[in-house]
Structure 1
């Protein structure tokens, strides 16, 4: 469920408002699997190394597939960890009621990790109240409604972080599943970049949609 994303080599300063204490969000997938979405405010070091490594592999595979993200070369693990978790992120895992912290060491991450997303300013300075997000679902999450669950969580957390408006800069027009999710969550197309993407799943250049929604 990607929705992209500024140039990963550019580091936009975080908003001046520090993240508040946000509680994990508990919900269910469409197959009734219980899931918990954990806010991550202290960087990748707050997570088990094996979990970050899994997410790095999943993100690398997404880039190499060449259909959803604009980057052509994968990041190394350290760069990914800084890029994805450097401002504010969320990790979705299968709930294990009664077993303690769902992000503890030693879990079978390939089975229980469902996805992740980050939230960061789309612009610096006086425009930093407009946010952007990047989403990644894992192999364990396919066709289980994880994208919708993460989208709803994004809309809950982003305003609490002080953001007033959300912009997704490059949602490729042939990414039908992602577009359907954002349409159902009240986003609208506010712009189009003709022929923006040279994607592996199209012989022709693909338009990119700019999608936005008020968060207030």
Structure 2
């Protein structure tokens, strides 16, 4: 398996939608509640500062993706935000790590100085361990900041890292 991370191409939209929607439908990580369609996905991914895919070059199969965009505007426009999605049956292969590392490089390339994650769900231990291993610092806890799919609220942990 030869996994590389690169800018997304429209020909991979269907695979990307499937991976993104899988995370949205699970309802335990992304704040979005609406899934993407072919039309909305193209607009959504094109609106980002950068959208990347992790692809197995040997099979030409998308295994994950991320979006990178400003976290805010104006005087806080130097802070970016990113969201990551990995195909369910490919988790544990360090694809998420490759995506995060690439997003750090792209964030810097696009002139951002800080990357911040607003809503990392407290129970998302794998993501939190990865972020901390890569030098992110937790900013605190927002009690009951995330509405889980089953209707209960869970704490979120904002993270940041200088680029």
Give per-residue Cα distances to partners, 1:122-181, cap 9 Å, x unaligned.
011232111000111113522211011111111222111111001100000000110011
Give SS of 1:71's match: coil
| Shift >6 Å, 4+ stretches | none
Q: CA shift at 1:119, angstroms?
A: 0.9
Larger helix proportion, structure 1 or 2?
A: 2
User: 2:19 and 2:66 mapped to 1: Cα distance?
Assistant: 13
Larger strand proportion, structure 1 or 2?
A: 2
Q: CA shift at 1:204, angstroms?
A: 4.3
Q: CA RMSD of the aligned region, Å? A: 1.8
Q: CA shift at 1:192, angstroms?
A: 2.0
Q: CA shift at 1:113, angstroms?
A: 1.1
1:63–1:73: 8 Å Cα contact kept in structure 2? Answer: yes
TM-score w.r.t. the length of structure 2 is 0.89
1:118–1:134: 8 Å Cα contact kept in structure 2? Answer: yes
Give SS of 2:104's match: helix
Q: Which has the higher contact order (CA 8 A, sep 6+)?
A: 1
Alignment: residue pair count: 162
Larger radius of gyration: 1
| 1:73 lines up with 2:31 in the alignment | no
TM-score w.r.t. the length of structure 1 is 0.69
Structure-to-structure mapping, 1:1-216, within 5 angstroms: 33-40=1-8, 46-48=9-11, 51-87=12-48, 88-96=50-58, 112-200=61-149, 204-215=152-163
Gaps of 5+ in 2: none
Distance 1:213 1:35, change over 3 A: same
Distance 1:171 1:47, change over 3 A: same
